[in-house]
C-alpha cells in the first residue's frame, strides 16, 4: 500500500528518482564505536557542570591556574611567520630545516651520525604519525617481524600497530607491587623474543606509569637487545618535559647509540613546545650509511604519500623558527624547564598532602615517577568513585596527569584520593 | 651491527612531485614548471590569498587562542561549514543531521580515511576509478585495503569523455562497488561530463546500487562558481541516496601546505550518521590522532564571516578566470602557428589541467630542448602559465608535434 502510494507520487515527478530512496543505508549494521579511553575522558569532563571538577585525564600541560599554555617562544615565532611565507606544499618528507633541528635534539647537537648523513628522517604528524609511519614501514619491509610493546603503555600504541597489521606481543614493564620497574622480567622477555624483533621503548617519562629505567638498567637493556639483534624503536614524546633538561631526557637514546644500535625514534613537539594541535613531529631511522639513509627515507615518503601526501607546514615553521634562532631556543629551554619544574612541584605537593591526611598507603611512587603522569595504583572502581563522587576525571587505569594538578586543586584531589583508598 | 633495513632499495620519485624536483635542478632561464597543480600568478609566483592573510592575522593577534588538540574529527565549526559549502546551505541532508563529517589532511587524507572506513565496514571492497585518474588515487585506495579497478573515461581520439565506455564499465560493476567520481575539473584530463551526462551517471549508479565517492579538489576553481562546481555532488545528494565526499582547500583557498580538507559521508538517517562518525574516529586515532589546527582555523574564519566569504569568492573567481584566459591564449597561439591537429580541447577542458594529448616522447623532447616540465602523460598545469610564457610553450608544442621522429 505504502509503496504504491509512494510510487504514484513518483509517476507525477518528471524526472523519476531511480533506486535511491528505497534502498536502506549501507551502514545499517555499523556499530557505535567505543569511546577512546583517553580522549573520551575530556569529553565527559567538559560535559560536567560541577564547579569543583578536575581534569587529570589527557596529558596536556596546564599552568597553575589550570589553563592551557602557549609558550612565549611560540607566540613570537608565529608573529614572525605570519604574512611572511607562502603556503606551498612541503616535500613529502616535510620541512628539511625542522627535521635537521629535531635530529640534533635527539642525537646530539654535534652528532657525527647527522654529519655523516646516516639518519633517514621525515617530518611526521606528531608522535602518533611517526609511530604509524614506522609501523607501516615495519610491515612493508620486515613483514615477518613482531612488535613488542610494554605493559602498560599508551593505549593508542596497540591501535597503531594493529591498524598497520603488525603482529604484537607485550613485554613486562610495570611492577604493581613496587610501583616501579619489573626489570628482571623485562630482561627475560627481551631474551626470549625471537631474534630481530622490534621493541617499543619509551625514551623517558614512560606513559602511563612515569617509571623509567635507571641509567645502569638502560645499559643492560641495550646489551640484551644487542645480543638478540632486536630493533629498538624509541617513542620520545616528553624530551625536556621529564627532567627539565632535554639532554638528560635523551640519555637512553645516547646509550643505545654508543652501543652501536641502529635505532628508530618518534619525536613529538606536542608537549615540550605546546604545539599539540599543530601535529608536529619527526620519525628517524639510523642506517648503516648515507646511501641506505636515502633509500629508507624515500620509502618512508612512499608511505606518507598515500596517507596525507605531505605534512602540514605551520607547526614545522614554528619549530624551525624557534630552534634556528639561538635566543628563541634559549627562551624555549627556559619555558620547558618551568613546565617540568611545576610538575615536579605538584608531585611533591600531592604526596605531601596524602601523607598529611594520614593515608595508610605508601605514596612515594608519586615523587619517584617522572614526567607528566603518575600511575597512582588505584583500581578502576576507585577511579569511578573519584569521578562519580568527586568529579575528578582520569583514565580508569589510575593514571593521573600531573599537569592538571594545581596549587588550587591539589588538596581537593589528595582528599578525594584518600577517601577512596583509605580502606583499601 | 647490521641494519634490519639493509636490503631496502630506493623508491622511485613520485611521478608528479618528482617533476618539481627535476625542474628545481634545471639552470635554464627559460625553464617552465607545468608539473604540480599549484596555482601561480601572472608573475609565476605562488599566491597566498589576501583573505587568507587577513584570517591569519586575526588568528595570530587573538591572544586567547590556544594550541590544544582538536577533537579526533577536527574543528566542529569547520566541519559544518565545509559540509554546507559542498552540499549547499539549505541541504536537507544537513538539516536532517544525516551528514557525518571529519576534518582530514586535505584531499589525500580525506580519501584515505574514507577508504579505510570502507575497507573495514563496506561489504564490497572494490573501488572503480576513472581511466586515467590522479596518480595517487591508486596508492591511496590500495594502501587502505581496497581493490582498484578502472572505468572508461577519457577518449584520446576526441580528447573528450568516453561516455559509452563509462556507462558500460559502471553498468558491469557488482552491486555495492564504490565509484570514484571527480566532482569537477577532472584531474588529469580536464574533461567533465555535461549536466545531462551526470544525470545519466547518477541514474546508472543508483539503479545498480553502486556507492559514489566524490573527490572534490577544485570547487570554485573550475568554473569560478562554487555552486556550479558542486552541482554534480548535489544532484546525487538530492535523490536521497548515500555518498562519500572528499573536499580539499589546497587549491581553492590556496592552503596547500596547511593540509585542510574534510571527509563527509551522507547517510540515510541521523542515527546512522552518528554511528558512522564514531567509527571514523577509530580509523583516525591510530593514524595521526587528530588533525592539524592552523589551516582549518583559517578556512573556518573565512567561511563563517560573510564579508570574508565574499572576498574569497572574488579572489577565487580571479584565479579561475586567469586560467581560462591562459587556455584561450594557448589555443590562439597554436592556431596562429598552424600547429597540426585539433587543439580545441585546450579550451573545452576545464580546471587546472589540460591533457594535451602529447605522448611521453614528445614530453621528453619538450623537457630536454625547451626546459618545459610536465608529467609524462602529457598533462600540463595551466596555472603554471602566464601571458609571457605561453609563446614559449606554443613553440615547444609546435616543435614536438612537427619534428620527424
ipTM of the complex: 0.92
Which of B57, B108, B240 lies nearest to residue A82, judging by beta carbons?
B57
DSSP B333-356: HHHHHT-SS--THHHHS-SSEEE-
* Whether residue A235 lies in the annotated active site: yes
Q: Is the pLDDT of residue A237 over 90?
A: yes
Residue of A nearest to B75 (CA): A277
Chain A hits for B239, CB-CB cut-off 8 Å, are: 17-18, 20-21
Distance between CA atoms of residues A29 and B204, nearest Å: 25
Chain B hits for A144, CB-CB cut-off 8 Å, are: none
- Give the model's pLDDT for residue A43: 85
Distance between CA atoms of residues A60 and A55, nearest Å: 10
Non-local CB neighbours of A124 within 8 Å, separated by 6+ positions: A94, A130, A133, A266, A281, A282, A283, A304, A311
Instruction: Say how many C-beta atoms besides its own lie within 10 A of residue B62's C-beta.
Output: 10
Distance between CA atoms of residues B201 and B1, nearest Å: 59
Residue A143 near residue A198 (C-beta atoms within 8 A): no
CB burial of B182-221 (b: ≥16 within 10 Å; e: otherwise) equals bbbbbbbbbbbbeeeebeebbbbbbebbbbbbbbbbbbbb
Distance between CA atoms of residues B290 and A351, nearest Å: 34
Distance between CA atoms of residues A275 and B314, nearest Å: 34
**Are the Cβ atoms of A277 and B68 closer than 8 angstroms?**
yes
**Are the Cβ atoms of B68 and A162 closer than 8 angstroms?**
no
Looking at B120-260, which runs of residues are DSSP E strands?
126-131, 147-152, 154-155, 160-161, 178-182, 211-216, 243-248
- Give the model's pLDDT for residue A23: 61
Give me A50's grid cell.
560541577
Residue A239 near residue A101 (C-beta atoms within 8 A): no
Give me A213's grid cell.
629505567
pTM to 2 decimals? 0.93
Distance between CA atoms of residues B129 and B181, nearest Å: 7
* H-helix segments, B188-263: 195-207, 226-229, 231-238
Distance between CA atoms of residues A239 and A229, nearest Å: 26
Distance between CA atoms of residues B353 and B125, nearest Å: 30
- Give the model's pLDDT for residue B44: 86
Distance between CA atoms of residues B76 and B87, nearest Å: 17
Non-local CB neighbours of A402 within 8 Å, separated by 6+ positions: A56, A343, A346, A347, A350, A372, A373, A374
Q: Is the pLDDT of residue A331 over 70?
A: yes
What whole-number percentage of chain A has pLDDT above 90?
A: 86
Closest Cα in chain A, distance from residue B390 (Å)? 23
Instruction: Give the active site residue among A154, A161, A218, A332.
Output: A154
- Give the model's pLDDT for residue A15: 44
Q: Is the pLDDT of residue A312 over 50?
A: yes
- Give the model's pLDDT for residue A22: 52
Query: Can you give the length of chain B in residues?
Result: 405
* H-helix segments, B252-342: 270-288, 293-304, 306-337
Q: What single-letter DSSP state applies at residue A412?
A: H
pLDDT band of A50, cuts 50, 70, 90: very high
Q: Is the pLDDT of residue A228 over 50?
A: yes
Which of B53, B112, B292 lies nearest to residue A277, judging by beta carbons?
B292
Distance between CA atoms of residues A271 and B29, nearest Å: 46
Pairing of strands A281-286, A264-268: antiparallel
Q: How would you classify residue B46: left for phi > 0, otherwise alpha for psi between -120 and 50, otherwise beta?
A: beta
Mean pLDDT of chain B: 95
> Bridge partners of B354?
B380
Distance between CA atoms of residues B259 and B74, nearest Å: 12
- Give the model's pLDDT for residue B1: 60
In 3D space, the residue among A310, A340, A401, A364 whose CA is nearest the CA of residue A54 turns out to be A401
Residue of A nearest to B175 (CA): A26
- Give the model's pLDDT for residue A10: 39
* H-helix segments, B43-98: 50-61, 76-87, 92-95
Q: CB-hemisphere CA count at 13 Å for B102?
A: 31
Give me B311's grid cell.
572576498
- Give the model's pLDDT for residue B404: 59
Chain A hits for B48, CB-CB cut-off 8 Å, are: 86-87
Which of A25, A307, A313 lies nearest to residue B269, judging by beta carbons?
A25
Residue B18: phi and psi, rounded to 5, are -65, -25
**CA–CA–CA angle B244, B248, B254 (5° rounding):** 170
Which of B8, B36, B293 lies nearest to residue A141, judging by beta carbons?
B8
Q: In Å, how far are A36, A308, B107, B184, B326 from B134, measured between CA atoms?
A: 34, 14, 11, 13, 22
pLDDT band of A85, cuts 50, 70, 90: confident
Closest Cα in chain B, distance from residue A359 (Å)? 35
CA B386 to chain CA centroid, Å, is 22
Q: In Å, how far are A24, A32, A41, A183, B207 from A28, measured between CA atoms?
A: 8, 11, 28, 49, 19
Question: How does pLDDT run across B231-281, given as a tens digit for each residue?
Answer: 999 999 999 999 999 999 999 999 999 999 999 999 999 999 999 999 999
**Are the Cβ atoms of A306 and B108 closer than 8 angstroms?**
yes
> Bridge partners of B214?
B181, B245
Q: What single-letter DSSP state applies at residue A170?
A: E
Chain A hits for B176, CB-CB cut-off 8 Å, are: 26
Distance between CA atoms of residues A383 and A396, nearest Å: 6
CB burial of A205-234 (b: ≥16 within 10 Å; e: otherwise) equals bbbbbbbbbeeeebeebbebbeebebbbbb
Instruction: Give the active site residue among A161, A235, A249, A332.
Output: A235
Residue A397 near residue A208 (C-beta atoms within 8 A): yes
Q: In angstroms, how far apart are the furthest CA atoms of chain A?
A: 83
Q: What single-letter DSSP state applies at residue A20?
A: G
Which of A70, A307, A312 lies nearest to residue B292, judging by beta carbons?
A312
Q: Which residue do the cell numbers 604519500 mark?
A: A305
**Cα dihedral angle (A47, A48, A53, A56), rounded to 10 degrees?**
-40
Give me A129's grid cell.
604519525
| Section B197-210 average pLDDT | 97
Q: Is the pLDDT of residue B17 over 80?
A: no
Residue of B nearest to A225 (CA): B1
- Give the model's pLDDT for residue B365: 97
Residue B265 near residue B242 (C-beta atoms within 8 A): yes
- Give the model's pLDDT for residue A18: 46
Question: How does pLDDT run across B51-88, given as a tens digit for each residue?
Answer: 999 999 999 999 899 999 999 999 999 999 999 999 99
| Section A36-43 average pLDDT | 82
Q: Is the pLDDT of residue A318 over 70?
A: yes
Q: Which of A264-268, A405-409, B5-9 has the lowest mean pLDDT?
A: B5-9
| Section B101-128 average pLDDT | 97
pLDDT band of A347, cuts 50, 70, 90: very high
Q: In Å, how far are A78, B21, B81 from B62, measured between CA atoms?
A: 12, 38, 21
Q: In angstroms, how far apart are the furthest CA atoms of chain B?
A: 67
Q: What single-letter DSSP state applies at residue B13?
A: P
Q: How would you classify residue B220: left for phi > 0, otherwise alpha for psi between -120 and 50, otherwise beta?
A: left
Residue B220 near residue B86 (C-beta atoms within 8 A): no
**Are the Cβ atoms of A70 and B290 closer than 8 angstroms?**
no
What whole-number percentage of chain B has pLDDT above 70?
A: 99
**Are the Cβ atoms of B17 and A260 closer than 8 angstroms?**
no
In 3D space, the residue among A353, A142, A178, A347 whose CA is nearest the CA of residue A264 turns out to be A142
Amino acid at each position: 500500500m505504502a509503496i504504491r502510494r509512494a510510487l504514484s507520487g513518483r509517476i507525477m515527478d518528471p524526472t523519476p528518482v531511480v533506486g535511491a530512496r528505497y534502498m536502506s543505508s549501507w551502514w545499517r549494521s555499523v556499530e557505535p564505536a567505543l569511546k577512546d579511553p583517553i580522549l573520551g575522558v575530556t569529553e565527559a569532563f567538559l560535559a560536567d557542570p560541577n564547579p569543583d571538577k578536575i581534569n587529570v585525564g589527557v596529558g596536556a600541560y596546564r599552568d597553575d591556574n589550570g589553563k592551557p599554555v602557549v609558550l612565549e617562544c611560540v607566540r613570537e615565532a608565529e608573529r614572525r611567520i605570519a604574512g611572511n611565507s607562502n603556503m606551498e606544499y612541503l616535500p613529502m618528507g616535510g620541512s628539511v630545516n625542522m627535521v635537521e633541528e629535531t635530529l640534533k635534539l635527539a642525537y646530539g647537537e654535534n652528532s657525527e651520525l647527522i654529519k655523516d648523513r646516516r639518519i633517514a628522517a621525515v617530518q611526521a604528524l606528531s608522535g602518533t604519525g611517526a609511530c604509524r609511519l614506522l609501523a607501516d614501514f615495519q610491515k612493508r619491509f620486515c613483514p615477518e617481524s613482531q612488535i613488542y610493546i610494554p605493559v602498560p603503555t599508551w593505549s593508542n600504541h596497540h591501535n597503531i600497530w594493529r591498524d598497520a597489521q603488525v603482529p604484537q606481543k607485550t613485554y613486562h614493564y610495570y611492577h604493581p607491587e613496587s610501583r616501579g620497574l619489573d626489570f628482571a622480567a623485562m630482561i627475560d622477555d627481551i631474551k626470549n623474543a625471537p631474534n630481530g624483533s622490534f621493541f617499543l621503548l619509551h625514551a623517558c617519562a614512560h606513559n602511563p606509569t612515569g617509571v623509567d629505567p635507571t641509567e645502569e638498567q638502560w645499559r643492560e637493556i641495550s646489551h640484551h637487545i644487542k645480543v638478540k639483534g632486536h630493533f629498538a624503536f624509541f617513542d620520545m614524546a616528553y624530551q625536556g618535559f621529564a627532567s627539565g633538561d632535554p639532554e638528560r631526557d635523551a640519555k637512553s637514546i645516547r646509550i643505545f647509540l654508543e652501543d652501536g644500535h641502529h635505532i628508530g625514534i618518534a619525536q613529538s613537539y606536542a608537549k615540550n613546545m605546546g604545539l599539540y594541535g599543530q601535529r608536529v613531529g619527526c620519525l628517524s631511522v639510523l642506517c648503516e650509511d648515507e646511501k641506505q639513509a636515502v633509500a629508507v627515507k624515500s620509502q618512508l615518503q612512499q608511505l606518507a604519500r598515500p596517507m596525507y601526501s605531505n605534512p602540514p607546514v605551520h607547526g614545522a615553521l614554528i619549530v624551525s623558527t624557534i630552534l634556528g634562532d639561538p635566543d628563541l631556543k634559549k627562551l624555549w629551554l627556559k619555558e620547558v624547564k618551568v613546565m617540568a619544574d611545576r610538575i615536579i612541584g605538584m608531585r611533591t605537593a600531592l604526596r605531601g598532602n596524602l601523607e598529611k591526611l594520614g593515608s595508610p598507603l605508601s605514596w612515594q611512587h608519586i615523587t619517584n615517577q617522572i614526567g607528566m603522569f603518575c600511575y597512582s595504583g588505584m583500581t578502576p572502581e576507585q577511579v569511578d568513585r573519584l569521578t562519580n563522587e568527586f568529579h575528578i576525571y582520569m583514565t580508569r587505569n589510575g593514571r593521573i596527569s600531573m599537569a592538571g594538578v594545581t596549587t588550587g586543586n591539589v588538596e581537593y584531589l589528595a582528599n578525594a584520593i584518600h577517601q577512596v583508598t583509605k580502606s583499601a | 651491527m647490521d641494519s634490519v633495513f639493509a636490503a631496502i632499495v630506493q623508491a622511485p620519485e613520485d611521478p608528479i612531485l618528482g617533476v618539481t624536483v627535476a625542474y628545481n635542478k634545471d639552470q635554464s632561464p627559460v625553464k617552465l614548471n607545468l608539473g604540480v597543480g599549484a596555482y601561480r600568478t601572472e608573475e609565476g609566483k605562488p599566491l597566498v590569498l589576501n583573505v587568507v592573510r587577513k584570517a591569519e592575522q586575526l588568528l595570530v593577534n587573538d591572544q586567547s587562542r590556544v594550541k590544544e588538540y582538536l577533537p579526533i574529527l577536527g574543528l566542529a565549526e569547520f566541519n559544518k561549514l565545509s559540509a554546507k559549502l559542498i552540499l549547499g546551505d539549505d541541504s536537507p541532508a544537513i538539516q536532517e543531521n544525516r551528514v557525518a563529517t571529519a576534518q582530514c589532511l586535505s584531499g589525500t587524507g580525506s580519501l584515505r580515511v574514507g577508504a579505510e572506513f570502507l575497507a573495514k565496514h563496506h561489504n564490497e571492497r572494490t573501488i572503480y576509478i576513472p581511466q586515467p585518474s590522479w596518480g595517487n588515487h591508486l596508492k591511496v585506495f590500495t594502501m587502505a585495503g581496497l581493490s582498484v579497478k578502472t572505468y572508461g573515461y577519457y577518449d584520446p581520439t576526441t580528447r573528450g569523455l568516453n561516455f559509452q565506455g563509462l556507462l558500460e564499465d559502471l553498468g558491469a560493476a557488482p552491486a555495492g562497488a564504490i565509484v570514484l567520481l571527480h566532482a569537477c575539473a577532472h584531474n588529469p584530463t580536464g574533461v567533465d561530463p555535461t549536466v545531462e551526462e551526470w544525470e545519466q551517471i547518477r541514474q546508472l549508479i543508483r539503479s545498480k546500487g553502486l556507492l559514489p565517492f566524490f573527490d572534490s579538489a577544485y570547487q570554485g576553481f573550475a568554473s569560478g562558481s562554487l555552486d556550479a562546481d558542486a552541482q554534480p555532488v548535489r544532484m546525487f545528494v538530492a535523490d536521497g541516496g548515500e555518498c562519500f565526499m572528499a573536499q580539499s582547500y589546497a587549491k581553492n583557498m590556496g592552503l596547500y601546505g596547511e593540509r585542510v580538507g574534510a571527509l563527509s559521508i551522507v547517510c540515510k538517517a541521523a542515527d546512522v550518521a552518528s554511528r558512522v562518525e564514531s567509527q571514523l574516529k577509530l580509523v583516525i586515532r591510530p593514524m595521526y590522532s587528530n588533525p592539524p589546527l592552523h589551516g582549518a582555523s583559517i578556512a573556518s574564519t573565512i567561511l563563517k564571516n560573510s564579508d570574508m566569504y565574499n572576498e574569497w569568492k572574488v579572489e577565487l573567481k580571479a584565479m579561475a578566470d586567469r586560467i581560462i584566459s591562459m587556455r584561450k591564449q594557448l589555443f590562439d597561439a597554436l592556431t596562429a602557428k598552424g600547429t597540426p591537429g585539433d587543439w580545441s580541447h585546450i579550451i573545452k577542458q576545464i580546471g587546472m589541467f589540460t591533457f594535451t594529448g602529447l605522448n611521453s616522447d614528445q614530453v621528453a623532447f619538450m623537457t630536454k630542448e625547451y626546459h618545459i616540465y610536465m608529467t609524462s602523460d602529457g598533462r600540463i598545469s595551466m596555472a603554471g602559465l602566464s601571458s609571457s610564457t605561453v609563446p614559449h610553450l606554443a613553440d615547444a608544442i609546435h616543435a614536438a608535434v612537427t619534428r620527424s621522429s
